[in-house]
Structure 1
Amino acid sequence: MITSSDPFWFGFRFVWTRVVGTRVLLAWVALGVMPVAAKANEPGQETPEVIAEFIEFNCVGCHDSYTKEGDLDLEALTLSLDDPDNFHRWERVFDRVRAGEMPPDEQIEDGEKQGFLAKMHDTLLAADSNRIAKGGRVAARRLTRNQYERNVNELLQVNLPLRQLLPEESMSFGFDTVSKSQQVSDHSIAAYLDAADWALQTAFDRLLSGDRGETVRLDWTKLRRNERRHNREPEGRPDHQDIVSWSCSQNFYGRMPATSVTQSANYRIRIKAHAINLPKMGRVWCSVESGVCSGNASTMYWVGAIEATDEPRVYEFDAWIRDSHMLRIVPNDKGIGRVAAQKVDQKAGTLENEGVPGVAIQWIEMQRLVSDQEQLRHTLVGELRLEPLEEPTSNRAYRLVSKAPRRDLKQLLHRFAERAFRRLVSVEEMQPYLDFASAKWNEKRSLRDALQTGYRAILCSSRFLYFEEAPGELDDFAVANRLSHMVWGKAPDEQLRNLAAAGELRNPDTLREQTERLLNDPQSATFIEEFATQWLELYELDSTTPDGQLYPEYDDTLHRSLTQETFAFLSHLIENDLPITNVVDSDFTFVNQRLARHYSLEWPGGTGFQKVAVDRQSRRGGMITHASVLKVTANGTTTSPIIRGVWMLEKVMGEHVPPPPANVPAVEPDIRGATSIRDQLDKHRSIDSCAACHVKIDPPGFALESYDVIGGWRDRYRAAGKKKRWVPGLPVDPSHEFTTGEAFDNMDGLKDILLKRDDQLAANMASHLVTYSTGAAPTFADRAAIDHIVQQTDSFDHGMRSMIHAVVQSPLFLSK
């Protein structure tokens, strides 16, 4: 006997339904025989008839409990939309039907489809709106470790790398600001305590010990190597009163022990240098790093780059340098070649006479940076008197003096808490912190200890670590907090706090003025760098090292230049309110001479990063052609249209791609160059569970195949050679076609197609901005608000600055 659970029955039912049509289904409904999915719901959650009929007639044949195509079983799927997983499955069904992707190759009457979509839309919207009304869009949102560092440093007037003590952040929807992924554990709380202790100890030590920044100036005689015992130091040139470092493969060559520091701190480093034996490119690119400079601790820390020309110039850098670390300065441009390791130990002057390019250094100045004493005093102890210690028994030079210590303790803690909690704080809220500090005062009779204890409790409080936001419309303090953390990555300044206290910030005109003020401030560089880094996944830049055999031209100067182009580009878009389409194509970019050489662009002269004109022939218009994003979407040896296609869909085009099925093997490109990636993907797409996604992924992915692992243009792939490092391999075929029928032959064709989708590009950018700034990705109920942002900015060609303003003024930003 054939039962209803038999695979044959499901196949038979699927075929019979296709033959007889809706009449059979209506008969089932009339008889009370509803589909399984409808009967499996909880009481009060019955599936509406129009949804049940559409699913049963059009979808269950491929997505039943036996077939489960795409790992989707619609027979077992209930309409229990309070379950987030269930909600997202139904949302996916809605989106794919609306886009015409499902059912595949089926002719559905418009009325039938529109009826389903309308009912499904209303059902999903009601469920999501109800969820938001109860708890808000955003769950409890915590400061990121970068935000924690900036907030604590500003509160205490120090500048410490506190984030190195805190756990790495998790990403959700591409950003570390999203509350969904922000976990807190015993380990992380202990890390916050350690960070707070370090910051407080440093701040009070600097205040009470009278700390002063010291400056050390080292001339060439202190920096030169010992000619009787060469030890990787640069050689001296007595006639020129300088030292010279050459491009060399010897580990830690260019190190200077005289620059070793005795205390971990921030240092301002000034270097007077110029190039010698200048190459045709007109400069010698050099790296400045710090480290132990030995095999015992081989990690080197980046300080900055020197673009040395034949004109002596002073270069200045600020960097955190660890105790016992020294500076290392060496040319690192692969374009000038390197000298053999053993050659740098030859007699001074030998390499110069051979015409090898190098960098000559006249002197180095290192200043240890400390806090401004007046600002530090005002921040920590207000108007309390500092009394010098006549016979100090410790490293303190002063002690705190108060005629009314309990009153002063209460006032200082309250003032500190309002700055730390980023809002007004009641006396009742302050009592636990005051009790904690008072207990320390009773025990030690030390104002320093009592204050430090109270401040520590505040810095580890959930009121400091988390954004305090109640469901519904945000109050002015919460809006100030969101806005400041979005643009400056830290707590609101005094002007924002005053406007919030007066209840004026939510006024649209005032909010716009303040958004403008924050964007115009140099501190907005925080937004540029952190938003771009996470949106475009630039944090992956250091995850891979390009294969030295296939890409021998890649050097550290080029590596460090990549993100700077992207940051400068995004900053220019925002500053000038340029259209979002510039992400896809533009007639300009920002390069330094090293990056211009990589792109084969004509360099206009001068130094540093400059805005340069580009056209289609240069192949460098738009962010999607930046070497930064092209490198992070490659693995160091090969490129993959899949990885780049997914990146394009999710970062630029705003289309989510579900993860691949677990049982499908990854595509591994052939580095020998015998099989093309297109041939491999043709076989991969023959797997039914893969084809549905690859029709979306592959078109933009293949267009980007015209760019190699390090973002260089190519007509052919590079293949590993036997006699040469690499040889030209198979030709690149960047052509493809979208499911809409829009076909293209190359990158220019892809750009032309995407430029017509400016609303889609704008909606994608609005979604990323909302996610980054509010701590939650837009959900189904937010779609109308995103559409409104797109409409608002349409008359401004979806300018980037206009889009930021529209996001800040939207209910998504102004409500929890």
Structure 2
Amino acid sequence: MSNRAVILWLGLAMSSWASLPPASTRAFLKSYCHDCHGEQTQKAERRFDTLRFDLSDRDNLRRWQEILDVLHRGEMPPRKKNVAQPDAPEIRVVVSWLETELPKAYAKLKSTGGQTIYRRLNRFEYRNTIRDLLGINTEFIDPTELFLPDEEEEGLDNIGNALVTSDYTLQQAMAAAEKMIQRATRFGERPKTGRWSFAGPVMKKKGGILTEASRQLNPYDEIFEQAGPAGRTGYVAISDLPEGVPTTGRYRVRVSASSNNQRHPWGEMIPTDQDRASRLGVVIFNAREVQGPRYHASDKRVGEFALPESGERRMVELEVLLEEGWAPRFSWANGPFRAYSSGEKLLKRYYPKLYRERPDRRLGTKAKNEHLREMGRLLIQNNLGPTIRVHRVEIEGPLIDQWPPMGHQLMYGNGEVRSEDIERHLHRFANQAFRRPVPRSEIAAYVDLVRRYEGKGKTATEALQIGIKALLASTSFLHLPELNEKLSDYELASRLSYFLWSSMPDASLFDQAKRGELRKPKTLRAQVERMLKNPKSTAFVEHFTDRWLRLDKIGSMPPDSKTHRLYYTENLDAAMKRETHLFFGHILKHNLDIATFLDSDFTFVNRGLAELYGMPPLEDAELVKVAITNPRRRGLLGHASILTATANGIDTSPIIRGVWLLESLLGTPPPAPPPDVEPLSPDLRGAKSIREQLAKHREITACNDCHRRIDPMGFALENFGPIGEWRDTYPESKSTIDASAQLPTGERYRDINEFRALLLKRKHLVLQQLARRLLEYSTGRILEAADRVDLDHVIETAKKNGGGLRDLIHAVAQSESFRTK
């Protein structure tokens, strides 16, 4: 090799590694790491005796970062017998060297760091964009109902690398576009506002034995039980509105109702809280698909109202959005669950002289039904139990503010569609749909498409609809094109709006982009503040929280309806997610410290969650902020949503909950289990405790290193059952639950409260994980090694500005990663 070649080789070697590690670092690894991560043994698939010092290699850089992280956390070397422990000066030398050299390596890698892949809208973003573009209420109709589920990467469903676009995707996009165009099209005269009035009983047919008996004897409808997924009846629907309302729009609904026998002597058979007011529930449903009294998945609860204990009628009024074919119906929101049935048991218990045994089966069904109707009539005539009565219903609508609607005007303007206006209509629509100024040359092909269909005999309107459908199936609509290394103002507007609203930019963002102001830090900060105050930021609060904390798993394994009836009678699946959404939203609104996620003195509950948590009773189904008096419920770890999402609906597993804590909250996920090791099932047999099973599991060498990190995290939550209820013993074995453990650092805790105190010492890990997730969610890509410098900068910026959640959002929006491709 020539001298020139040697010099060149040396130069390349020196450029890839600024300074070789000191001998003390190599000696440190040999003394304290090689026994577990060396030639003979590679625990957690990590080998350090061959680890190269070339930090220009991303894999090497990631390994060195892992070493620095575990030294910072005090997790390695493991605190075990016969495992040598370094003293503080030895650790300081290695940490100091790594903290000096890793930032240099990140800086060199940054020029070729990760970029956001040209990604398409996910289903959630598509629905919201159609809503805002065409003015369609996507709560009633889902334009993505035939789309395939979005692929996920590390729990996020908006990562460009995972969101592939197939021929099927384009076919479904075309079908959805055609359907949405038709729904947004509103030619013709402004619909007239109609008024309907229905005197009781408003439900002329259907219902159970008691419902039918009551309306034959009384001038009102009577509700005897709570409706819901596990209920058979329980609703009062309007028989004279069998096809629902004729036109989609906003309607005013008035209903006159009263409470009957709130305080009653039949508490033994009809268990109700007689100190709580009976509550009338208002539900909207698809009247064309559902039988009046029965629950259906389309049900949407829109309001609850307390009725006077005195039995005085109350007139309730509310405005609701109703789709064509939908209608309101009414329920007893906090009523008993199947307490009345046909009334036979109540009659036998309280009026034995009136009660008659059922006729012989040989007499047939007709005799049986006649007997049941007679028993029902006798109970209604003598009923001392509680009910709700519906006396009258009035509906007015649609209440229209704008005609033609916004979406129609965007597509067609205000008048008749003329052939000479086709290009103008397409250009106006493309500017909104593509979320940027569109040169007329770009829509020339769409204009030609429309002209061809006009030539084939289509009317100007029909041909224009074909052109708009093509625009809605185009790459520029379905994707978020980011063509510049430094995002343009319009690209930044879209990135910001899909971050905080999961939808397209509004007029204010477009205006700032048009003026070239959006990339200015002050303008960007002002827009973030404005957007967070907008109701559309609910999309961020709910969708990001679901993905960060994996609340999307709730409902995938629902609990047994017999052992966890409260889950169904109080719709806890929705309520528990709502608690965590409101909790996150409150921390964001008030810019509270990140530590609030771990330890808070407040939460949000309704009557169902209050009952589940053992809190003082509440009346309302709406969640309200309450003070936490029992420390076991402080922070996220006391939320039923977290505890349900990390259970299987039947029992709990410290492994699942421990992995969730390490992955979602602390951002220190354990490696995947070896493929040749059998998974450990939850303790369903009651033959031995889950603690004993896990102890045996840790005896397997391949499992020990990971489970000594996982299991102590999960044991802290063992007192919480499958839906977050507190328990002191296991339901099968009746053995007392031991929620104590020792962390790999040697720290011990006795219960959830002491464990939370240990987590607070790791607040910096929660902040780092939350910052990472926010950057990934906002940019649509998983962070890489080269992003570490920007991640650290976001964290330090947030700390400098106060360390609150809102500070962190601003730091993300101002970051280099967010403002570049």
Q: TM-score range by the shorter chain?
A: 0.7 to 0.9
The change in CA–CA distance for 1:690 and 1:734 in structure 2 (over 3 A counts) is same
The change in CA–CA distance for 1:98 and 1:308 in structure 2 (over 3 A counts) is closer
Answer with 432-441 or 266-275: which moved more. Answer: 266-275
- Equivalent residues of 2:599, 2:756 under 8 A apart: yes
- Structure 2 counterpart SS, 1:612: strand
| Amino acid aligned to 1:746 | D
- Structure 2 counterpart SS, 1:448: helix
- Equivalent residues of 1:270, 1:364 under 8 A apart: yes
Answer with 309-318 or 588-597: which moved more. Answer: 309-318
- Equivalent residues of 2:210, 2:377 under 8 A apart: no
Equivalent runs, 1:347-358 vs 2, <5 Å: 347-348=376-377, 350=379, 353-358=382-387
- Equivalent residues of 1:589, 1:614 under 8 A apart: yes
Equivalent runs, 1:161-200 vs 2, <5 Å: 161-200=142-181
Deviation at 1:521, TM superposition (A): 1.3
For residues 319-338 of structure 1, give each alpha carbon's deviation from its aligned partner in whole angstroms, at most 9, with x where no partner exists.
Answer: 77696x88775547586663
- Equivalent residues of 1:793, 1:803 under 8 A apart: yes
Instruction: State yes or no: 1:527 paired with 2:540.
Output: yes
- Equivalent residues of 2:247, 2:398 under 8 A apart: no
Deviation at 1:814, TM superposition (A): 0.9
> For 1:460, which of 449, 473, 477 is the aligned residue?
473
Which residue matches 2:736? 731
Which residue matches 1:241? 220
Answer with 177-186 or 230-239: which moved more. Answer: 230-239
Aligned length: 741
The change in CA–CA distance for 1:813 and 1:761 in structure 2 (over 3 A counts) is same
Q: Provide the TM-score with structure 2 as the length reference.
A: 0.80
- Equivalent residues of 2:226, 2:336 under 8 A apart: no
* RMSD of equivalent CA atoms: 3.9
For residues 482-537 of structure 1, give each alpha carbon's deviation from its aligned partner in whole angstroms, at most 9, with x where no partner exists.
Answer: 11112222111111101101110111111111111111112211211211222222
> For 1:567, which of 550, 557, 581 is the aligned residue?
581
Instruction: State yes or no: 1:142 paired with 2:120.
Output: yes
> For 1:443, which of 452, 456, 459 is the aligned residue?
456
Equivalent runs, 1:540-551 vs 2, <5 Å: 540-551=553-564
The change in CA–CA distance for 1:501 and 1:546 in structure 2 (over 3 A counts) is same
- Structure 1 counterpart SS, 2:299: strand
Give the Cα separation in 1 of the matches to 2:710 and 2:521. Answer: 41
Answer with 468-477 or 242-251: which moved more. Answer: 242-251
| Amino acid aligned to 1:771 | E
For residues 654-695 of structure 1, give each alpha carbon's deviation from its aligned partner in whole angstroms, at most 9, with x where no partner exists.
Answer: 222332222222222233433221111111111222222222
Deviation at 1:74, TM superposition (A): 7.2
Answer with 515-524 or 651-660: which moved more. Answer: 651-660
The change in CA–CA distance for 1:293 and 1:426 in structure 2 (over 3 A counts) is closer
Equivalent runs, 1:209-608 vs 2, <5 Å: 217-225=197-205, 235-236=214-215, 239=218, 241-247=220-226, 251-252=232-233, 254=235, 256=237, 258=239, 259-261=241-243, 270=253, 272=255, 273-278=257-262, 279-284=273-278, 288=283, 290=285, 292-293=289-290, 300-304=297-301, 307-311=304-308, 312=314, 314=316, 316=318, 318=320, 330-331=331-332, 338-340=339-341, 346-348=375-377, 350=379, 353-364=382-393, 372-374=402-404, 375-383=406-414, 385-386=415-416, 400=417, 402=418, 405-406=419-420, 408-444=421-457, 446-470=459-483, 472-559=485-572, 560-603=574-617, 608=622
- Structure 1 counterpart SS, 2:120: coil
Q: What 5-or-longer segments of structure 1 have no aligned partner?
A: 1-41, 387-399, 720-727
- Structure 1 counterpart SS, 2:155: coil
The change in CA–CA distance for 1:687 and 1:445 in structure 2 (over 3 A counts) is same
The change in CA–CA distance for 1:251 and 1:226 in structure 2 (over 3 A counts) is closer
Give the Cα separation in 2 of the matches to 1:181 and 1:637. Answer: 32
For residues 576-595 of structure 1, give each alpha carbon's deviation from its aligned partner in whole angstroms, at most 9, with x where no partner exists.
Answer: 11111111111111112222
- Equivalent residues of 2:16, 2:56 under 8 A apart: no
Give the Cα separation in 1 of the matches to 2:392 and 2:52. Answer: 74
The change in CA–CA distance for 1:107 and 1:595 in structure 2 (over 3 A counts) is closer
The change in CA–CA distance for 1:116 and 1:497 in structure 2 (over 3 A counts) is same
For residues 136-191 of structure 1, give each alpha carbon's deviation from its aligned partner in whole angstroms, at most 9, with x where no partner exists.
Answer: 53112211112112212322232342121322112222221111221221211111
Give the Cα separation in 2 of the matches to 1:352 and 1:730. Answer: 50
- Equivalent residues of 1:708, 1:714 under 8 A apart: yes
Give the Cα separation in 1 of the matches to 2:50 and 2:177. Answer: 51
For residues 421-455 of structure 1, give each alpha carbon's deviation from its aligned partner in whole angstroms, at most 9, with x where no partner exists.
Answer: 11112233222222222222332352212221211
Answer with 369-378 or 530-539: which moved more. Answer: 369-378
Give the Cα separation in 2 of the matches to 1:435 and 1:200. Answer: 20
- Equivalent residues of 1:244, 1:358 under 8 A apart: yes
Deviation at 1:812, TM superposition (A): 1.7
The sequence identity of aligned pairs, in percent, is: 30
Which residue matches 2:672? 659
Which residue matches 2:725? 712
- Equivalent residues of 1:290, 1:321 under 8 A apart: no
- Equivalent residues of 1:236, 1:244 under 8 A apart: no
Give the Cα separation in 2 of the matches to 1:698 and 1:304. Answer: 40
> For 1:631, which of 621, 627, 644 is the aligned residue?
644
| Amino acid aligned to 2:102 | H
Which residue matches 2:5? none
- Structure 2 counterpart SS, 1:578: coil
- Structure 2 counterpart SS, 1:300: coil
The change in CA–CA distance for 1:126 and 1:459 in structure 2 (over 3 A counts) is same
- Structure 2 counterpart SS, 1:739: coil
For residues 183-228 of structure 1, give each alpha carbon's deviation from its aligned partner in whole angstroms, at most 9, with x where no partner exists.
Answer: 2212111111110010112223x2357666766554423314379x
Give the Cα separation in 2 of the matches to 1:98 and 1:691. Answer: 22
Which residue matches 1:4? none
| Amino acid aligned to 2:220 | Q
Structure of greater relative contact order (alpha carbons < 8 Å, 6+ residues apart): 2
Which residue matches 1:770? 775
> For 1:125, which of 106, 111, 129 is the aligned residue?
106
Give the Cα separation in 2 of the matches to 1:362 and 1:676. Answer: 57
Give the Cα separation in 2 of the matches to 1:645 and 1:77. Answer: 30
| Amino acid aligned to 2:773 | H
Which residue matches 1:804? 809
| Amino acid aligned to 2:403 | Q
Give the Cα separation in 2 of the matches to 1:50 and 1:172. Answer: 35
| Amino acid aligned to 1:786 | L
Which residue matches 1:779? 784
For residues 279-335 of structure 1, give each alpha carbon's deviation from its aligned partner in whole angstroms, at most 9, with x where no partner exists.
Answer: 32514466847464579x996323116545323353757577696x88775547586
Give the Cα separation in 2 of the matches to 1:79 and 1:426. Answer: 52
Q: What 5-or-longer segments of structure 2 have no aligned partner?
A: 1-12, 263-272, 309-313, 345-371
| Amino acid aligned to 2:316 | V
| Amino acid aligned to 1:143 | L
Instruction: State yes or no: 1:684 paired with 2:694.
Output: no
The change in CA–CA distance for 1:801 and 1:156 in structure 2 (over 3 A counts) is same
Deviation at 1:477, TM superposition (A): 0.7
Deviation at 1:778, TM superposition (A): 2.5
Give the Cα separation in 2 of the matches to 1:652 and 1:234. Answer: 56
- Equivalent residues of 2:160, 2:780 under 8 A apart: yes
Give the Cα separation in 2 of the matches to 1:155 and 1:255. Answer: 36
